[in-house]
Amino acid sequence: MNVSNAVERAGQAAPQLAAASGELRRTMLHACADALVPAGDEIVATAMAETGLAEARLRGELARTADQFRQYGDHAAKPWRRVSAGAAMGGADVVTVPVPVGPVAVFAASNFPLAFGVTGTDTASALAAGCPVVVKAHPAQPRTAELLGELLSRALPDGAFSLVAGGPAVSLELVRAPGIRAVGFTGSLQGGRALMDAAASRPDPIPVYAEMGSLNPVLVLPGAAGQATVSALAAAVTGSAGQLCTKPGLVLTASAGFADELAAAVAALPVHRMLTPGMAEAHQRWQATASAAHRVVAGAGEPAPFAVVVDAADLVGELLAEHFGPSLVIAVGEPGEVLGRLEGSLTASVYAGDGDRDAARALLPTLLASAGRIIWNGVPTGVAVCDAMHHGGPWPATSASWSTSVGTEAIERFRRPVALQGLPADLLP
């Protein structure tokens, strides 16, 4: 389907979807989950062939995706309004209600083909808000996108979901389409910035909720510099071939011995192929660049897992950039000397023992200023889909640090509050 037809269908469906009760939206989103589960074998096989991701990983992702639809649907059914009785002039009540923004453009991500793809959190949260969606398929996964799109199209009302495909020109056309009222995106900083610029240049600018690059620093304090921490971090760096937005990209430690142990553990773990040849080539280029200037501990295979070990004072340039793939920068030095120089991230993690509480307390204000989620004695990979989750962060992690793309608060991106002052009770939505 072309962009103009898809956006036209979404515009026609928008009033009906906006007027639907919360119970009807819950039924609609549960129907999406119910459509995915029976097709699980076909979905997983198709996604495996296109992505190289492991079967266990994709089956877990499918379960999360279905649960996400159900959870967002249940949340949509809950009444949401704020009431200030007699607060306005003349003693009128003020009642605030949520109103869907209208058709939403969603850009499927490559690294989570189900949970952040066509059937991902942006799609589910927009539908829960009462907005039709037009999803742009990721070009690396056309068969997966088509299969998921067919399943959703059969489960949803006409016009509530449409799928388009193509390259950068199609992406920009979709964002510039007059009927689109908001954008959800997960991908690169370059791609997100291009969509933001296109949205801002419209005669009527629209918001772009973009999740982009993230270094996800990890601080390992002396009391936690043991083998358990080494194993947990090495697995988080190499899992899914290091292609997660929450992959630890930088570990800060004062212990040179811990740095050596972690580097060796990363290099020793096996990894599967990367999502696309372009991503694999970028990983190889980063390995070559890092090896020419720093100490690199690398494993075998393509892609080869590797760690770059440097002094904290040398952290500049590409050492502070996100690198997709099974790689890690380990900096030896005092964490406090580095944190203030880091850009915004989705996450920041602290590994600490009981004797490290005072040190952690001193570092916490800087972490709060630079990340959207702080993890204590745990890896940042694995994002719980729950009411309290915040999957966002300061620039360049996201374009809107106050918003989240995971958890029920993600729905709020696609509806706006309207205050109704003095309306008779029988007219209130």
Residue ranges covered by each domain of the chain = 3-212+398-427, 217-376
Cα–Cα distance measured from residue 171 to residue 162, given in angstroms and rounded to the nearest whole number: 14
pLDDT > 70 fraction of the chain, expressed in percent and rounded = 100
Q: Does residue 97 sit in helix, strand or coil? A: strand
Is it the case that residue 80 has pLDDT exceeding 90? no
Dist CA 126 CA 415 (whole Å)? 8
Q: What element of type H or E holds 419?
A: strand 415-421
Least confident range from 96-100, 394-398, 423-427: namely 423-427
Do 3-212+398-427 and 217-376 come out as alike in CATH topology? no
| Residue 81 binned pLDDT confidence (cut-offs 50, 70, 90) | confident
Is 245 designated active site? yes
Residue 34 CB contacts under 8 Å (≥ 6 apart), including other chains:
155
The one-letter amino acid at 357: R
Q: Give the pLDDT score at 135.
A: 98
pLDDT for 283 beyond 90 = yes
Q: Which of 245, 261, 322, 409 is catalytic?
A: 245
What is the rounded average pLDDT of the residues 66-71?
98
Distance, in Å, from the CA atom of 329 to the CA atom of 251, rounded to the nearest integer, reads 6
Residue-level length of the chain: 429
The pLDDT tens digits for 191-215 are 999 999 999 999 999 999 999 989 9
Helix pair angle (22-36, 55-76), 10° resolution: 170
Task: Check residue 398 and report its DSSP letter.
Answer: B
Q: How far apart are CA 209 and CA 205, in angstroms?
A: 13
Q: How confident is the model at residue 1 (pLDDT cuts 50, 70, 90)?
A: confident
pLDDT at 429: 83
Kindly tell me if the per-residue pLDDT of 329 is higher than 90.
yes
pTM of the model: 0.94
pLDDT tens figures, 123-174: 999 999 999 999 999 999 999 999 999 999 999 999 999 999 999 999 999 9
Q: Which of 211, 261, 322, 409 is catalytic?
A: 211
Average the pLDDT over 8-32 and give the result: 97
Confidence of residue 337 (pLDDT cuts 50, 70, 90): confident
32 is catalytic: no
Tokens for 165, please give them.
């495909």
Domain at 217-376, CATH class: alpha beta
CA distance 220 to 94: 50
pLDDT of residue 72: 98
**CATH homologous superfamily for 3-212+398-427?**
Aldehyde Dehydrogenase; Chain A, domain 1 (3.40.605.10)
Whether pLDDT at 84 is above 90: yes
Region of 174 (left: φ > 0; alpha: ψ -120 to 50; beta: rest) is alpha
